[in-house]
């Protein structure tokens, strides 16, 4: 009798354990299903809110649209919807003159949709417009400041009105003799004219004056290196180009200039690192491959010389170049 009761009790316990386990599994499953349902509901509500914001933007209700899009855009999972929301945000940001909103939307679009033609077009258009608006604010709020005056001079320069730009830059120096970039721009204007011994010397003086104000200007160092290269002063050119690469490691042109000058001076093994850096930064310029081929050939590495010469020929077929050329730096640093 005791044995039968013990056996029955054991069976009861087993049944109880299985019942509890089944209940727990069912509860977990129900909880998981509820969480999935909740996430789906949240995603659906975010999507609906984002679509409402996009619709408001399309009808010109930008303040209301941005209020919604700012909250929903970072959490939208659907990529196409994120694209539409970011485009709407950028458009509305321009309409209500909120530059931070525009920039944030454009950064998202360029990160997630690189190479998209519409993204590239909108980015170009909006950044250009933001630059114009900012320039107008600068001229309106601080018209006599050095920065506003430089902006006017740069506008003359961009329009090809070099003499007017030079006159404006000189006026700036009278009032702000230590304003960075002004001597550099004067030097560039001088070099844009037919070259003579006089204009070359005058330009050199301007770049040297720039370095007195801004001793770590890679642009001024580069231009002095270029002038020294043209005058066949190779050691001087090497010094200037070397300093330019030290002051800004991300500028490609000084590396090419340094490689050219070192090759011309017969320092081929020293030229190779600079030229390799240049072709890494600008793989579309045949001049870098040509100079590398020369450097490797003169150091006895025929395999590498042939490889870079082949790359140079391949690029020249696509974009012929008669002679290696320097590309001027558009802005001072």
- Long-range own/partner contacts, residues 269-272 (CB < 8 A, 24 or more apart): 269/295, 269/299, 271/295, 272/296, 272/299
Model confidence band, residue 226 (pLDDT cutoffs 50, 70, 90): very high
- CA-to-CA separations, 208 to 220, 222, 231, 313, in angstroms, rounded: 7, 11, 16, 38
Is the fold of 143-215 the same as that of 217-333?
yes
Q: Which CATH architecture has domain 34-137?
A: Alpha Horseshoe (1.25)
Residue 333 to residue 330: CA distance in whole angstroms = 10
Q: What is the pLDDT of residues 184-224, one digit of tens each?
A: 999 999 999 998 999 999 999 999 999 999 999 999 999 99
Question: Is a pLDDT exceeding 50 seen at residue 318?
Answer: yes
The fold of 217-333 is 1.25.40
Q: What is the pLDDT of residues 11-29, one digit of tens each?
A: 444 443 444 444 444 444 4
Q: Please compute the mean of the pLDDT values over residues 68-84 and round it to a whole number.
A: 90
The lowest-confidence range among 61-65, 70-74, 109-113 is 70-74
User: In CATH terms, is domain 143-215 a member of 1.25.40.10?
Assistant: yes
- Among candidates 196, 192, 222, 194, which has minimal Cα distance to 207? 222
pTM over cut 0.85: no
Structure tokens, 282: 């600008």
For the chain, the structural domain boundaries read 34-137, 143-215, 217-333
Model confidence band, residue 139 (pLDDT cutoffs 50, 70, 90): confident
DSSP code of 326?
A: P
Question: Is a pLDDT exceeding 90 seen at residue 42?
Answer: no
């Amino acid at each position: 009798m005791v044995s039968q009761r013990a056996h029955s009790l054991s069976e009861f316990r087993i049944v109880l354990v299985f019942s509890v386990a089944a209940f727990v599994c069912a509860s977990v499953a129900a909880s998981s299903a509820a969480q999935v349902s909740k996430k789906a509901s949240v995603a659906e509500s975010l999507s609906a809110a984002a679509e409402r914001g996009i619709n408001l933007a399309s009808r010109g209700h930008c303040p209301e649209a941005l209020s919604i899009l700012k909250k929903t855009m970072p959490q939208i999972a659907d990529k196409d919807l994120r694209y539409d929301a970011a485009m709407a945000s950028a458009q509305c940001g321009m309409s209500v003159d909120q530059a931070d909103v525009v920039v944030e939307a454009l950064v998202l679009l360029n990160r997630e949709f690189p190479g998209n033609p519409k993204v590239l077009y909108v980015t170009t258009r909006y950044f250009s417009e933001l630059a114009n608006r900012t320039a107008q604010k600068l001229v309106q709020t601080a018209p006599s400041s050095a920065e506003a005056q430089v902006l006017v001079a740069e506008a003359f320069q961009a329009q090809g009105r070099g003499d007017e730009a030079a006159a404006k830059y000189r006026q700036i120096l009278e009032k702000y003799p230590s304003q960075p970039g002004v001597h550099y721009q004067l030097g560039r204007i001088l070099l844009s004219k037919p070259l003579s011994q006089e204009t070359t010397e005058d330009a050199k003086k301007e770049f040297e004056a720039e370095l007195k104000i801004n001793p770590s200007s890679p642009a001024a160092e580069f231009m002095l290196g270029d002038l020294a290269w043209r005058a066949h002063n190779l050691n001087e050119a090497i010094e200037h180009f070397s300093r330019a690469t030290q002051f800004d490691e991300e500028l490609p042109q000084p590396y090419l200039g340094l490689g050219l000058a070192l090759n011309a001076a017969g320092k081929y093994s020293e030229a190779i690192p600079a030229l390799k850096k240049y072709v890494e930064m600008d793989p579309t310029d045949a001049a870098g491959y040509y100079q590398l081929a020369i450097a490797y050939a003169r150091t006895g590495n025929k395999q590498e010389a042939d490889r870079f010469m082949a790359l140079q020929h391949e690029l020249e077929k696509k974009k012929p170049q008669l002679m290696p050329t320097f590309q001027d730096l558009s802005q001072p640093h």
